[in-house]
Copies of this chain bind each other. A is one copy, B any other.
């Protein structure tokens, strides 16, 4: 069944996903979007703040999105998002790290202007295999209400 606005309850916490990130993925992403030495070259990073090759923070954001699509959005009435409220990068993501998501629903409110949808606010925490939070992200998504007849809410 399609996940709709009504399925999100403020205070609920759910966990999902497991994706192991490889050195090849880190450097391939960085080559396209963030070609700085700390994301491309182990030797260049030994004496930097990161202390070794680490994924671009933007890559980490993209991995969170992919986990959210696979585990939350692909069978949902999601109608996108107006933006991102805040992102914090807390720890480096290294080759071989396995990342998972802990999602807290912060708020749910109906749209004033569109009766077929509501806004749901989330805190996403991305954890590594040691249970350390490597990144947090807050945003608000537009999600269709159940039974409003739109094609996307089946």
Whole-angstrom distance between the alpha carbons of A76 and B70 in the complex? Answer: 37
Q: How many residues of A contact B (CB 8 A)?
A: 35
Q: Is A109 an interface residue when CB atoms closer than 8 A count as contact?
A: no
The answer for the CA separation of A86 and B140 in the assembled complex, in Å, is 12
Q: How many copies does the complex hold?
A: 2
Interface residues of A (CB under 8 A from B): 32-36, 38, 47-50, 56-58, 61-63, 65-66, 69, 73-74, 78-89, 151-152
Picked from B49, B58, B81, B82, the residue with its CB within 8 Å of the CB of A61 is B58
Of the candidates B58, B73, B84, the one whose C-beta lies within 8 Å of that of A62 is B58
Contacts of A49 in B (CB 8 A): 79-80
